[in-house]
A = this chain, B = another copy of it.
Amino acid sequence: MTKTNREQRREETFLEIKATARRLMAEHGTAGLTVRGIAKEMGMTPPALYRYYDRLDDLITALITENFHALADALESACAAATPGRTVDKLMAAALAYRRWALDNPVDFELIYGTPIPGYHAPQEITVPASARTLVVFVGLFVEALENRECMPPPPYDRVPPELRSHLEQIMRDGDPTGSAPLLALYLALVCWPQIHGLVMLELLEHIGPVVGDMEFFARSQFENMGRAIGFTI
């Protein structure tokens, strides 16, 4: 089944719209994301864009899901680049990649993890699955580390709190139908993620960097302390 000219041009236009939107946002922040701005940049009239996205919100949603996937991809390739077998290296690489991606793509990160653009409401059935991939990367690392006995969590990280058990089991079932992965992996991922995220968020919005000074070092050391706390030997 070969594509007709029109279908191909349509796909290209979709790509051009998103690319233009990204360029304008990189230059002027989320304030640069306007129908008229994108249209002018592309040599079109604003209403023409409505042939591609019914509302500006739909374009935002498309950008957001792409960003979630781009972040998850960055984490995965960082893990892949780490020493095979040394899962702790992968965890450090993933945490640092999370930070690096945020710092290198600040607006894209704000778009997914920051306050929603005023008036925008994310259709969760679309964004949530994409969003989940990030957490899945970390869960995967802990599955590997626990299996290989590379991570030996001391109390209180050696077992899932009973208060969370049943709900986490259900989440695990929905995501992984085989249900083979240890529940503790999900719990440990949920312990680590907020620590990484909080540091990155505060640094990105310049709340903590000026106080700490060397954020590069601080982030590294915090991630290492985190790894040690949950049972890795670094």
Binding site for B on A (CB under 8 A): 29-31, 33, 110, 113-119, 124, 128, 131, 135, 156-157, 161, 163-164, 167-168, 171, 190-191, 193-199, 201-202, 205-208, 210-214, 217-218, 221-222, 225, 229
Contacts and interface: CB of A to CB of B under 8 A. Distances in A.
Contacts of A197: 198, 201-202
Contacts of A208: 190, 193-194
The 10 closest A-B pairs by CB, nearest first: A198-B198, A167-B213, A114-B115, A31-B118, A194-B198, A31-B119, A194-B199, A197-B198, A110-B115, A30-B118
A211 to B, nearest CB: 6
Contacts of A157: 225
B117 A118 contact: yes
B193 A194 contact: no
A168 B114 CA distance: 28
Contact of A214 (B117, B164, B207, B212): B164
A167 B110 CA distance: 28
30 contacts: A29-B119, A30-B118, A31-B118, A31-B119, A33-B118, A110-B115, A114-B114, A114-B205, A116-B205, A128-B210, A131-B207, A156-B225, A157-B225, A161-B217, A163-B221, A168-B213, A171-B211, A190-B208, A190-B211, A190-B212, A193-B208, A194-B222, A195-B195, A195-B198, A197-B202, A198-B199, A198-B201, A201-B201, A225-B229, A229-B229
